[in-house]
A and B are shown apart, each in its own frame.
Chain A
Amino acid sequence: MNSLQIFLIILAAIFLILIPLSRSFAVKYARRTVLLLVAALMLMPFIWLICAAFKSTDAMSQYSFLPPPSQISAKTVNLGNFRSLLAPQPTIQGPVTFWRYVTNSLFLASAITVISLFFCSLGGYALAKYRFAGRNVIMIYMLASMTIPGVVLLAPNFEVIWRLGWMDTYKALIIPGAVGAFGIFLFRQAMLGVPNELIEAARIDGCNEFRIYLTLIMPLVRPMSGAFCLISFMGSWNAFLAPNIFLQSQNKLTLPVVLNQYMGTYVEHYGVFLAGTMLAMIPPAILFFALQREFISGLTSGAVKQ
């Protein structure tokens, strides 16, 4: 019997004691405990990451997490990794700093997100709320297009981008990412729940179709817009292969591409890479906090009652 086992048994025992005393409190306690344990498991890699980002190479190889308090000094725990990360790099385009890559990544991820939010929700609305010739064909086609593994299309896509003259431009990443079957499918499913009576009422009031989409439908699926933005932003923020293949100038690269450059072939600069990974988590984490109000409290702005 070791301390971890004892700890878990105590947690379970408290629950059993609480049940006869107050059922609702016991449930609340169980809920909170389960969440805490899950969160601890989920966050362990990040604790490792944050510890590693501040450790010197020597300390990194000796300790899983931070060194014991007696060993903590400027030699083992310091900002050296961040200093190397933030130092300007000389390139053929002139010196480039880390912040340039942050700006590049922010621009690409946010531009792709807003554009695809617009196009995907528009397409999803068409498929959810209109009856038209070819609708089922488009649905099946979309489903099929999701199932083709992207690797198959890599070589021909490369040719398209090259023939368009888009190599080494952001167009190569933004335009193919501007609308996708996944997003359309998601919005279609979310909009299925919107009662047709609402749309009919708006038509009778004389709203044009685009106006109905914009002012009636979109506010109703706001929780899903929030979720979509988050997922889409994260997808572009962490995209690795496509930027690596289509971008060439060092000053246009995105964060994941640049961070990977610290993982050398012969010598891996784990510390700098992990420090960069830690910083790169901050913008999406802020976005997550800002967005979650959207998809959690969407109800209050006007519920879809069925």
Chain B
Amino acid sequence: MKFPYGPAPLVILIIAMITGIGLAVWIPLSRPSGYRAPDLVLATFVPEQADAYRAALPKFEKENHCKIQIELVDQQALQSRLQSALQVGADVPDMVELMYGTIGVFTKGPIQDVGFIDLTDKIKTSGLYDRLVTNRLSKWSSRGHVFALPHDVHPVMLVYRSDLVKQFGIDVNKLTTWDEFARVGREVVRRSRGPDGLPAHYMIDLPTDGNDALILLLLQDGVNVFDAAGNVAFDNEATVNVVCWYVKQIEGKTRISFPCGEGQNFAKAMIDGLCLFYLCPDWRSNRIELEIPSLAGKLSLMPLPAWKPGGLRTSTWGGCGLAFTKKCRNFDLAWKLAMYLYYDPAQLGPRFAATHILPPLKSAWNLPQFDQPDPFYGGLRLGRVYAALAPFVPEEHYTAYQTIANAKLSEAFTSASLYYQAHGDVGLRDYARAELKRCADRVRIVMHRNVFLYPPSAQVSEASGK
């Protein structure tokens, strides 16, 4: 009798049977003999870190007679899984690496309800507090309680095409403020404009929708989307300044920037010298070196221009941290593991050489790897220049409403940008101020729906923040 579903489903059935038998017999899914259930499970979303941790584990396991499992999960999936598990009270890993900005979801209720262990006291009593870049703890904190250990510092500099900058006769030492930077930038764009009206070179790579770059520039000026108490804080004069400055660089006659994007497009723009300057946190310096080797010797780094003369010359972009879930089976061992993976100098030296990521442990910056000249950047001592800025990275504060706040900030920014396209400079500041206020108020409305942080009875009195 013929297979009633036709030959193709038959073939699929046969594939299912062969692969099924194959998985069951030759490569059993069940645990291999001699398998020992792990004492701790650490879940991370960063593939590079999973590799580094797996390589470092055997030594730790041997010394502590334990077994550690590293799970690598996509960031979005890890976040969904963790939230689902904490919501329904299901199993969670003992330790979790979180992406910057994602901690807020877990701290949106009363402090005692947070699914992670409060590390504040442990950090103080273990002496870790004095050894870390303390500003870095802010992004893993809520209302003064620290819930994760910072993995990195991520200070930001500008990477630039030193050959082209020289060709244009720019003295980077004089680019000390963003206004001066923009002035020189307009000169560059004017001089490189081709017959078709398009410049061959722009001054800097900036996305036209703001986002990460806008927030980075705001942080540099001391503006956080949220203040330390978790209140919306982006409707103020400093934000108006930065937003107005930014839209002028991406639109109209004053434009000095091009949005280079990521990946292949970014690489091509760098190779063509489409932009002279690019925002460059520590991790990106490594990425550029790996992905665009043909630029060797043509690049150099400088601190960010400041918003005011003598102002802060750096900012921060990205990062991850290690949290311990309340279901952690063995906190002492987990803490020990965290110290080993995060703050053990023997690990940090080689890891910096491989990743260019600056650890928050200040003493680590004295390791020889941080003084290593990097020929790719014209012999610059990368570790040294980033470490010089690292203690000054601005504080960051995150809440559960980070994404919506960013989206609303971006909305106000886009409105301002469209206004500038249509009407130019006249009235821009007032318009931007009003839009920022409108968008910030919207975030406040959303936040005040949270009955755990803002009990309905207290809502009126707390409307302006507590």
A contact set with B: CB distance below 8 Å: 57-58, 60-62, 64, 90-94, 100, 103-104, 106-107, 110-111, 113-114, 117, 121, 154-156, 158-159, 162, 167, 170, 214-215, 218-219, 222, 225-226, 229, 233, 240-241, 244-245, 248, 250-252, 257, 260-268, 270, 287, 290-291, 293-294
Contact = CB atoms under 8 A, between A and B. Distances in A.
Contacts of A61: 264, 267-268, 271, 291-292, 294
Q: Which are the 8 A-B pairs with shortest beta-carbon distances?
A: A61-B267, A244-B77, A107-B19, A159-B88, A110-B16, A158-B84, A162-B90, A155-B84
Nearest to B2: A219
Contacts of A106: 15, 19
Nearest to B1: A215
B290 A267 contact: yes
B4 A219 contact: yes
Contacts of A248: 71
Given A100-B27, A264-B48, A290-B11, A57 B291 contact: yes
A257 B76 CA distance: 12
Given A58-B294, A219-B6, 15 more contacts: A57-B293, A61-B268, A61-B271, A100-B27, A113-B16, A114-B13, A114-B16, A156-B88, A248-B71, A250-B71, A251-B27, A262-B47, A264-B48, A266-B46, A266-B283
A252 B29 contact: yes
Nearest to A262: B47
A275 to B, nearest CB: 15
Contact of B292 (A58, A114, A252, A262): A58
A93 B23 contact: no
A11 to B, nearest CB: 29
B263 interface: yes
A184 to B, nearest CB: 16
- Interface size class for chain B? 35 or more
B86 to A, nearest CB: 9
Contacts of A159: 84, 88, 90
Chain A CB within 10 A, most for which of B19, B91, B99: B19
Contact of B12 (A110, A158, A170, A264): A110
Interface of B: 2, 4-9, 11-13, 15-16, 19-20, 22-23, 27, 29, 31-32, 38, 45-50, 54, 69-77, 80-81, 83-85, 87-88, 90-91, 99, 263-264, 267-268, 271, 283, 286-287, 290-294, 320, 355, 357
A251 B32 CA distance: 12
B151 to A, nearest CB: 11
Contact of A241 (B6, B19, B80): B80
A294 B3 CA distance: 13
Contact of B47 (A158, A215, A265): A265
B32 A62 contact: no
Nearest to A261: B47
Contacts of B16: 107, 110-111, 113-114
A105 to B, nearest CB: 9
B48 A294 contact: no
B88 A266 contact: no
Contact of B271 (A62, A110, A250, A291): A62
Contact of A162 (B15, B75, B88): B88
B263 A268 contact: yes
Given A61-B271, A110-B13, A261-B72, A266 B355 contact: yes
Nearest to B41: A248
A294 B7 contact: yes
Nearest to A94: B32
Nearest to B93: A248
A264 B46 contact: yes
A149 to B, nearest CB: 14
A82 B286 CA distance: 23
B242 to A, nearest CB: 26
Contacts of A293: 8
Contacts of A110: 12-13, 15-16, 19
B22 A270 contact: no
A162 B263 contact: no
A162 B84 CA distance: 11
Given A90-B54, A103-B27, A106-B19, A233 B12 contact: yes
B75 A241 contact: no
A114 B12 CA distance: 7
Contacts of B49: 265
B155 to A, nearest CB: 15
Given A92-B69, A268-B263, A290-B11, A244 B74 contact: yes
Contacts of B99: 265
B286 A267 contact: yes
A170 B19 CA distance: 13
Contact of B83 (A104, A155, A225): A155
A158 B85 contact: yes
Nearest to B99: A265
Contacts of B45: 265
Given A103-B19, A106-B19, A266 B70 contact: no
A233 B11 CA distance: 12
B56 to A, nearest CB: 13
Contacts of B294: 58, 61-62
Contact of A113 (B12, B54, B267): B12
A25 B71 CA distance: 61
B77 A241 contact: yes
A106 B18 CA distance: 10
B215 to A, nearest CB: 18
A100 B26 CA distance: 11
Nearest to B31: A93
B75 A265 contact: yes
A226 B8 contact: yes
28 contacts: A57-B293, A58-B293, A60-B264, A60-B267, A60-B291, A61-B271, A64-B264, A100-B27, A114-B16, A158-B81, A162-B88, A162-B90, A162-B91, A219-B2, A225-B9, A240-B74, A241-B76, A250-B72, A252-B29, A260-B74, A263-B47, A265-B320, A266-B48, A267-B48, A267-B287, A267-B355, A294-B6, A294-B8
A154 B79 CA distance: 12
